[in-house]
Structure 1
């Protein structure tokens, strides 16, 4: 291929206290033309580890929400093709090859969804709603931007065609009950503030019914019971995040009265 036609890839990572994962991740993405880590002033050794990689650009920025952090990272990238990856995710060799070949295609696709394999303590979670989990991670920034009305569970706005990659990201999200519970708590708080920002006024009954519905839907309809005790744990913690969302919403709004 003519070097003039060669597409370059920027890999972007947003971090906070990821010393457990960041070294192996950075070693694993050495195929990238540019690597940028946007760190929210980690209090562990994340930043020090990143600084040992000469090919990685470390930028520190205070965390406001996930959307603004991601859009900020996009603005720092030199290349049009962007791959977002979290510190607790890994690419298989097959996915790396697919990403490289994909960005060199001459088609009109602006963004690609990638399926994720959810790992529960290093074992694959097969159901509980995660069997169809996919997310935009590879895209051309000239046609894409994260919508600013979300603070968590970011939504990529794509101006153009989309497609799905064949290979999957491995997501090591769950390592312990307390760690995952804390993550779900933080998500719940952000979603509460997001609702307030949008002027939403949910009924107080949702504080109990929405978490219950979430648990039953994921455990029964999304076959969480087939994951055994792992399914019960994940379905409960996802419902817990919904509960925190409403509890925090009513706490904040009542304090303003």
Structure 2
């Protein structure tokens, strides 16, 4: 019928957390424009859960952490709306990105999902290179048209049934809090990637354990211009390479554990 306007699309902001106090506050503030904010917390011990519980705009649910894909899939099921904005707890939506998100989901010819480029922050300083300059992730999509594949348990992958677009404004990502925090994150990612490899029956290889971390550092620090980020670039590239090394160490541990279990049950 002529003259009728398309109803304004509602948006759910989804976030998963574990010990994110000091960062989650900025994230929540930046998505206050959403119609609903749902946070799935994996039993934080630093006050994150208590902060979220007391926030008037947040619905917080605690769920045990199995892996990133499982946790995000669980969070997705909690959304009341079809349009979903999925963020990490250390990401912030700028005012200009807020405007672009609202305009995008209310377009008549909107795609089913949208990639976001991210501006990485080393504490409060910009990280301009170090392999992250072309980083992009799905962050905005229709729940009815997308799901996280269960083939990956870290660096979760969204499968989209339909077309995708790219937003122009960048998402701010406070990736580096301090040395120990980022190191712990990279080691955890490496261990989860090793589990992926183990389940796919990939075998530990000494040569690859030497080559892959070295290549990661060289690629990000030299080829992807991490050297131009100065000391910040060296630190990030080193710790990223350490995460790759940990992937092989953990795969070796898993294989040894599996072999031991096999011999113990042999008659």
Q: TM-score, normalised by structure 1?
A: 0.97
Q: Give 2:30's match in structure 1, choosing from 3, 28, 31.
A: 28
Task: Tell me the residue number matched to 1:82.
Answer: 84
> Tell me, which stretches of 5 or more residues in structure 2 are unaligned?
260-267
Equivalent position of 1:125 in the other structure: 127
Which string of whole-angstrom CA distances, capped at 9 and with x for unpartnered residues, describes residues 113-160 of structure 1?
000001012110111111111100000111100110111101110111
| C-alpha contact (below 8 Å) 1:22/1:49 kept by paired residues | no
What displacement does 1:23 show? 2.2
Find the counterpart in structure 1 of residue 247 from structure 2. 245
Partner of 1:106, secondary structure, is: coil
Q: Secondary structure at the match of 2:15?
A: strand
Paired residues, number: 257
Provide, for residues 216-242 of structure 1, a one-character-per-residue CA deviation record: whole Å limited to 9, x for no partner: 011111011111111111111110000
Counterpart of 1:188 (choices 176, 187, 190) is 190
Preserved contact between residue 108 and residue 160 of structure 1 (Cα < 8 Å): no
How big is the shift at 1:3? Answer: 7.7
* CA apart distance, 1:5: 1.6
Structure 1 vs Structure 2 CA RMSD: 1.4
Aligned to 1:198: 200
- The question of 1:137 aligning with 2:174 is answered no
Structure 2 CA distance, aligned partners of 1:196 and 1:249?
Answer: 7
User: Contact 2:204–2:252 at 8 Å: present in 1 too?
Assistant: no
Cα distance, 1:202 vs. partner? Answer: 4.3
Structure 1 contact 114–164 (Cα < 8 Å) conserved: yes
Give the corresponding residue for 1:155: 157
| Deviation larger for 49-58 or 38-47 | 49-58
Change (3 A) 1:137 1:93: same
Between the aligned partners of 1:147 and 1:202, the Cα distance in structure 2 is 25
In structure 1, runs of 5+ residues without a counterpart are: none
The runs of at least 4 aligned residues of structure 1 exceeding 3 Å deviation read 1-4
Q: TM-score if structure 2 supplies the norm length?
A: 0.93
